[in-house]
Each structure stands twice: as structure tokens, then as C-alpha cells.
Structure 1
Amino acid sequence: MTTRPVPALPDGVTVAELERLCVAFAAEAGRFIRDERPPRMGVSATKSSETDVVTVMDRRSEELLHALIQQARPDDGILGEEGADVAGTSGLTWVVDPIDGTVNYLYEVPAYAVSVAVVVGDPHAQGGWSPVAGAVADPSLRVVHHAGRGTGAWTSPEDPSDDRSPVRLSVSAEERLGRTLLATGFGYAAHVRARQAQVMLRVLPLVRDIRRIGSAALDLVRVAEGSVDAYAESGLNAWDLAAGWLIVEEAGGVVVGEDRDSAPGKILTVAAGHALVEQVRTLFVSGDDTAEDTAQEDSDEE
């Protein structure tokens, strides 16, 4: 488990309570996007108007999250992917991604998520914030992955009445780069993809294999549960990684940016166990400026 200390919280607020709320809110939004998904949405449906149905569901999910947060924690701030930010006075900010993996959601690929986290500091500033509680709901599997600073990382049933016990998460113990199953992602812009392809030419021969899942939040969860050994990607925003970052650390892993002392973010995010993280980070920064260029673009997971 991480040894990072719990940041100071407002009087009367506990990590356990924030984690409980993250789980409840992520689960409710996850059920919403799964159960209320328009029938026969399809790719062609996005061509019918300027506001396509995926965007509608994104916004409706974020509206739901805003309502839940403001009812429970009216003094907290909110930062979300759809841009309806709320300024708070408590020193806590909720960072939400209403649908992470929207392309998967559009195509009905069962790898999309809702990410909800509570952070201290300014989530608009690179390196200026830290998550204290977070949850990633996986509606397709009907589970929620969650963590609080100092409470460990867990996977729990989406339905609180489900009698299955939570499962504690732990990162892979893999130490050798050549045996590493590496998750990654790619940007939308053609020139960014071309440069990322060049990085893959260098990386692929040095690892066991590559996985491109299509959701940054779920990629981070998979590192935490050990179903992939490591993850690296450029172009992530706070809402893509806030909950997953904490879940990885509470599962015993490390999450860094473009150098070993920097926070994860747009330039680069690398997550792995202690033995692998520096090896993987080096792969993505050695002899190439792709990370810097890709940081100017939004990732596919947004």
C-alpha cells in the first residue's frame, strides 16, 4: 500500500465517508448510462444532428453526478469533462468523467466506465492536486472499483444488496520488461497517431504485448488488479485519471508523469508496480518528443 499521507481534510470530513459517496455516485451514474442507453444508438445516429446521442448521454450522466454531489456536499467544487464546473469553498473538488471510453460506449464494446474522485488542491493545475478518494464504475461487469487514501483498493458489487464480498486489489509483481503486458491508448489527431505509432515501433519488441482497451480509467484499474502489468499514455486530463491514480497507489503501485518525480497528466501518465514503473517510463520518453506533442491533443478516452 502507498505510504503517501492523507492530506488535510475539512473538519468533520473523513476519507471513509468520501469513498462511500464516490462509490454510490459512480454506481448510480453507471447504472444510468447502461440502463438508459438509447436503443439502436449505433454509429450512424451520431450523424443526424450537431448534438449526437453520445454527447447527450455524457451530459445527462454529468448532470446526474452534479445533482448527487451538490445534494450531499454543497460546499465542494466540481470539475467535469463536459465543462460545467462548479467553484467550491470547502477545499475539496469532485473530478468526474461521466462516460470514460465513449467510443466503446458508442459501439457497444463492454469497456466503458464512470470515474468519480475527490481531490485536494487545484485540479486545473498540473501537479497541483492529489486524490483522496475515488471510484470507477464498470457498468458492463456491474462492479465498482474504489479506494480511499490509506484504505486500500477494492472491487465491490455495484448493487449494495449483492452478498459478494469486496475483493482487495494488488498490482502485478512482474519485474522484467520483456514479460510485461502493457496497456496504452492513442489520440484522435492523425499526426499524433503517426508519432505514437513510431513510439510503438520502439516499445513493442521490448515488452510481452500491448493492449489498447479504450478507457484510461479501466486501464488504471487493470494495473491495480494485476490483469495488466503496466500502463502508459499521453494526453490525459484530470478526470481521466483522478480515481484510477489513487486506486493504483492503494493497490501498491506507482503512478508518475514524464519524470519520476512529476505528477501524471497530459504530457505522460505511467502506472505500474515499483519494479517496472521506471523501466516503462523510460520507454516512453527516450529519444522521442511524442509525449510533448500528444499532450496538446485530447485522448480517445475523453
Structure 2
Amino acid sequence: MEKILVSKYQRRIFYIISLSLLAIIELIRVFIIPIIFNTERLGLDAILNLILDNLFATGFVTIAIASLVFWLTPSVENEPKLETVEPRRIGELLRRARDTNEYWFSGNSARYTRAVTLPELAESSRTENVSKSITMLLLNPTDKQLCEEYIKYRSGVRSANKNGEWTVERIRKDIYASIIAAYAYAAEHPLLEMKIGLKKTFSLLRVDLGKNLVVLTKEDKQDPGLFAEAGSFHYSVYREELKFSLKQSNILPVHSVQGIPFSNLNKDNVKKFLDDLGIYEASISDQDFEEIIELAKDRENPYG
């Protein structure tokens, strides 16, 4: 009943069904009964007509009362809400989200974004010959305390030990790899525009937003997700939230620092690249750089 009161669509369905029933009643009374029930002597036609007349009157009064209630109730379209989606359908929604020219991601290390979203957007910008942009909000890898707090949380989720032990060094390497990969794709695909903000806090939710919908997921791939379609209140809220989060983050330089194509990545130029971005740390060893470069090149879906 609540849906009928607040939804224009539900009201329309109510009127269509109610008026159709009244029309059927009238058609039966006027055309069917005289033809099929030629029973005037027995008075059955009068009884049937009386029943149908009562049904018609009752239906008409019901529609009139409902119309009065509708008129007194604010005609507000039922706002789409955040909907829960089972884990196996999350990949499908993320594919829908990637069908866009402007993509936003907010998370922690962006492993999935690095392996799946970035290459797909880069390739589609080339094949469609259309400019595409991606904005990524990641943890600041130079903030070791922040990374430690995230690892405490990440180590406690259900799937924590399925892909090896989570450490501060591991998450930092993942973040560096995502940054390097984003700049590399931008260097190789001139129509791909990229922006990265380093956050001061971590979130339990990852946000993927395209032109069609926003998808919210958690670290554990066995957990359900949430999504909201474009045009809904929740979609608008998350879009604004992403914009404000970007403003409050440390935005890495884009035009003054050039990315390195994947084929040219090596520990020396990556070290200089991170230094130009202002996020190089002397504690990163040569072995670390080799691992970071391999991660940047890896396109295996971590949740596939």
C-alpha cells in the first residue's frame, strides 16, 4: 500500500487494473448476459445485473476514494534505494560501471582496478577513439601508521590468509604498483586521463562509480555488495562524496610528471618517477622495486 501511495508508477498500474475491471463488468452486463443468459422469465438476468451493478458501484467508489487519498498524499516518486547484490553478481555490475567515459574509484590499494579496470578503460579509449578519465583514491603509501591500521583490519577479514599474509610492506607495494600502472597506461594511451589522490584514512568499503551506477564492495569477496543506479539519491551522494574526498587528499601531479610505458619500467627510472611524485622512500630496496614493477604489469584479476 505504501508503494501505491508514493509511486506514480504504482498509481498508474492501480488505475489501469481498476478501470479495466470496471470495463469488463460493464461489457458483461451489457453484451454477455443478454446473449448467453436469455432467462428473463426466471429473473436470473435481473439478479446477475444487480450483482454486476453492485460490483461496478463498489469499484467506482473505491477508485474515487483512492483518488482522493492520492490527491492528499504527496506525489513523490519512490526513490531508488541502495540494493544488495549477491557476490556472484558483483563482477557483472562492475562491468556495467566500466561502460563509461568517467570512472571513479575509492579504495585502499586498487588491486582490482589496476588489473581489470585500468587496462579496459585504456583499451576502450583507443578502440572507441574517445577520451576517458579515471580518478583513483588510494591510501598514502608513505603513511606507515595508516597502512598499519589498514593491515590490522585486512588481516581480520574472513579471506585474510587465502592469498598469503598481509603486511605493511605488501600493501605499500600494491599501492605503489597501482600508481605506476595508472601513469603507465596514461603514457601509452593519450586519450586516457588519470588523476590520483592519496587519502589520509582507509575505508571498509570500496566505491566504483561510472555513468550508470555506483557499486560498493568490501574486502572479502564472499560478502555481498551494494549498488545504486544513476539518477538516484544515493548515486548523487556517493559522487559528491568522492569529489570531496579528492579535494581533501594529496593529489599527485599529472602534467609535470610523465608516466613510464610498461616496456621501459626498471628500478632506476621508477625510483626517479616516485621521487618526482614526492612519494619515494629510501627504505624501498632494489628487490622491492622489482616486485613493484611485476605487480604493476600483472593483469590477473585478484578476485577472478
TM-score of the superposed pair, with normalisation by structure 2: 0.27
Which one has the largest radius of gyration?
2
Task: Identify the structure with the greater strand proportion.
Answer: 1
Which structure carries more relative contact order (alpha carbon 8 Å, separation 6+)? 2
TM-score of the superposed pair, with normalisation by structure 1: 0.27
